[in-house]
Amino acid sequence: MRTYDCAPTLNDTQVLEFCRNGFLMLEGIVPDEINRRTFAFLDAHPSGEPVEILKEDWFVNNVILHPEAAGAVRSLLGANFGLPVLMSNHRVQCPMPAQGWHRDGGSKYGPQQNYLQVFYYPQDCPVELGPTELVPGSHFLFSLSTYMGHYGHIRGGVKTTAPAGSIFISVYSVWHRRSASTAEGLRNMLKYSYWRTVPPQRDWVIDPDFDLATAEYGLAGPTFRQQFRDRYDAAEMYFWLCGRMSEFRLIGGQGWPHHADNFLDKPYGMPPEPLKGLA
């Protein structure tokens, strides 16, 4: 399989933010010339799976291996991550009603991150062109797509309105849908996956000021679950990514990872500090 390595770009706070929300947006990072070339390529290859584009060096070098996107993937999947072998284009003639809420087939639930689902907008995607809508934190919530598809507006949903050249990276199981579009026109959105090939370890950008005691594990918006559960899930995913699952523990109550900004001291129930010299 084709693998790639590069410098990681995310720090601890950003990795934990990804664990909480289930996605991160990199706005407008691909050059306009490449966006236009991609748009033209997709006009010439209008299928739902234009996998031929993965053989184009200009596309691979500027989109798939873009330093910021690949650096984020490297941070979350580790060294020598596997490159995409399938390309999907969500090519839609707008206007269209909203798609049903769903998580993609093959979703597994838990802290493990062995692959990432990535989206690239080669054109501007304002709200009128029906950007993908995501529910932050929903990557931990199991529901059958057959039920989810009947939900309408979900409080806290985020529409990924973004300029051309934006890439967003998501946990595979995050709830999403194409939102309703109102404008006339064609919307392309490419979707592809990267894969882990090495065991997880904390080898992203280490932030020496990152403090496990006071880090923010909770979602800013609605969580749709029992109080503190969002914190527990995000903390567990962060520990999985650090390769420290054997040390992960939850005491419950007001123990770690409770919001600890107002605590007199460190929260009770913290996992042990890493051994000296080990990240």
What x/- string results for residues 104 through 143 when contact with Fe ion is judged by CB under 5 A?
Answer: x---------------------------------------
- Distance, in Å, from the CA atom of 269 to the CA atom of 195, rounded to the nearest integer, reads 33
Of residues 87-106, those binding Fe ion (CB under 5 A): 104
Classify residue 8 by its DSSP letter.
Answer: -
- Distance, in Å, from the CA atom of 112 to the CA atom of 117, rounded to the nearest integer, reads 14
- Min CB(90)–Fe ion separation in Å: 8
Of the two residues 74 and 177, which places its CB atom closer to Fe ion in the complex?
177
Structure tokens at 199: 């065991």
Structure tokens at 35: 């966006």
- Distance, in Å, from the CA atom of 40 to the CA atom of 242, rounded to the nearest integer, reads 41
Of the two residues 104 and 216, which places its CB atom closer to Fe ion in the complex?
104
Query: Nearest-CA neighbor of 213 among 273, 278, 137, 279?
Result: 273
CA 253 and chain centroid, separation = 29
- Min CB(102)–Fe ion separation in Å: 6
Of the two residues 106 and 208, which places its CB atom closer to Fe ion in the complex?
106
- Min CB(93)–Fe ion separation in Å: 18
CB 119 within 8 A of CB 188: no
Of the two residues 45 and 102, which places its CB atom closer to Fe ion in the complex?
102
Number of residues engaging Fe ion in binding (CB under 5 A): 1
Of the two residues 37 and 102, which places its CB atom closer to Fe ion in the complex?
102
What x/- string results for residues 230 through 249 when contact with Fe ion is judged by CB under 5 A?
Answer: --------------------
Q: Hey, is 211 helix, strand or coil?
A: coil
Q: Interface residues with Fe ion (CB under 5 A)?
A: 104
